[in-house]
Amino acid sequence: MQKDGSGKIQREIRSDMVEKYDIAIIGAGPAGSTFARLSPGNLRIALIDKRNLADSENFIREKCCGGLLAPAAQKELAEQGLGIPKELIEGPQTFSVKSMDYDNGLTRFYQRHYININREKFDRWLVSLVPENIDMLFGCISTAISPIDGGYSIYIKDGKVQRTIETRMIVAADGAASFVRSRVAPECKEPMKYVSIQDTYDCNSSLPFYFSIFERKTTDFYSWIIPKEDKILFGSAVPWGKDVIKKHEALAKKLFNEGVINGPVQRRSGAIVYRPSGNRGILLEKDNVFFIGEASGLISPSSAEGISYAMKSGRLLAQSFESGNDIKKTYSKAMVTMRLNIFYKNIKSAIMYNRMTRKIIMKSGIMSIHVKDN
């Protein structure tokens, strides 16, 4: 065994041996780390991630995420008895969103209660709460999954070394581009797929609000601007297909010409994002492989908020394991409220992203606030 930069113990797996587990969790984001933290203590569990989330000094990877904790995520943290440490908080903490509707030529401000956080530190904090009896196999990439008697073999690459573990069950928490889902359930329909592109700009002054931007030429979803200390994040969620970067950069040029953003792009990150339509593509279990977070298709179709869905599904699956009943049935029953939530968010999405209904709502001024825009 060896200690990482945080003092936590990571197990070394020898290349000439096969480690055996009850559960292998693929992905140590909010979904995977929540399940690992709350899972039954009598099971041998491995938590696998290509990032070294326990070593803040030697592995830095910017996630394509705005890093805003929505009220739903705040509520889930509260229900799990967690509060945000101050070192995770980033400035500015602003309380309004400037909605720019290029399709209708309208601008409105709306009060919002987000908490601005450092997303990488947030993920590392959640991992730091995982009990020490969980084997953390970080810096490891899963390369293959094969069914065996009583479970699965998972082949992982640790640097240049190929290793093998065996497990009775798998928990897939590896996001929209889920390696596990593509191998275990390729026949299952996926939710609509988008490419999230996010650019980082240097900024000398903090914006006093966030931006949500609607422009059909760019996307039928939305774009955003989020101030972060001395940086500004500009991102777009563009439908999967051709000219994704071109559409994002065309909107960036427009915002640059209007003085909303300025300077060269310092960094660019990207990720695949799901957008569920009803319950199409939501996958909870197949052959003792359980899916949580965005790997299961759980994410808001109206805002792309995913942290609350990730942490809640991780908690509900852990409770299903603890119940001692049929895990599959218990988990499926527990997820009914989340399915209903996505159904409701699809109705909201249909209203928000329809040009005419959005025009009526924004012109009416309902729920909007007056903000001094310097």
pTM of the model: 0.92
Check which CATH number belongs to the domain holding 126 and give it: 3.50.50.60
- For residues 160 and 78, membership in a common domain is answered with no
Residue 44 lies in a domain: yes
For residue 88, tell me if it sits in a domain.
Answer: yes
The verdict on residue 340 lying in a domain is yes
Examine the domain organization and report whether 176 and 308 are in the same domain.
Answer: yes
What pLDDT band is residue 54 in, cutting at 50, 70 and 90? confident
- Residue 62 pLDDT class (50, 70, 90 cuts): low
Instruction: Compute φ and ψ for 263, nearest 5 degrees.
Output: 85, 170
* Surface-to-core class of residue 138, CB atoms within 10 Å of its CB (0-12 exposed, 13-18 middle, 19+ buried): buried
Distance CA 76, CA 54 (A): 23
Has residue 374 been placed in a domain?
Answer: no
Q: What is the CATH number of the domain that holds 75?
A: 3.30.9.10
**pLDDT-based confidence at 1, cuts 50/70/90?**
very low
Q: Please give the tally of structural domains in the chain.
A: 2
Q: Please give the torsion angle defined by the CA atoms of residues 233, 34, 78 and 333, in that order, rounded to the nearest 10 degrees.
A: 110
- Span 339-351, mean pLDDT? 95
Q: Are residues 265 and 197 in the same domain?
A: yes
Q: Identify whether residues 287 and 364 lie together within a single domain.
A: no
**Orientation of helix 30-38 relative to helix 119-128, angle to 10°:** 20
What percentage of the chain exceeds 70 in pLDDT? Answer: 92
Q: Tokens 């190929």 — which residue?
A: 162
Q: Is the pLDDT of residue 93 over 90?
A: yes
318 pLDDT higher than 90: yes
**Same domain assignment for residues 199 and 241:** yes
d(CA 36, CA 28): 9
Same domain, 50 and 175: yes
Q: How far is CA 271 from CA 177, 196, 198, 216, 239, in A?
A: 8, 5, 9, 21, 12
Are 171 and 200 in a shared domain?
A: no
Q: Are residues 130 and 209 in the same domain?
A: no
Residue 100 maps to a domain: yes
- Lowest mean per-residue pLDDT among 56-65, 75-84, 192-201, 249-258: 56-65
Domain that holds residue 37: 2-61+122-190+279-348
Query: From the CB of residue 173, how many other CB atoms can be counted at a distance below 10 Å?
Result: 33
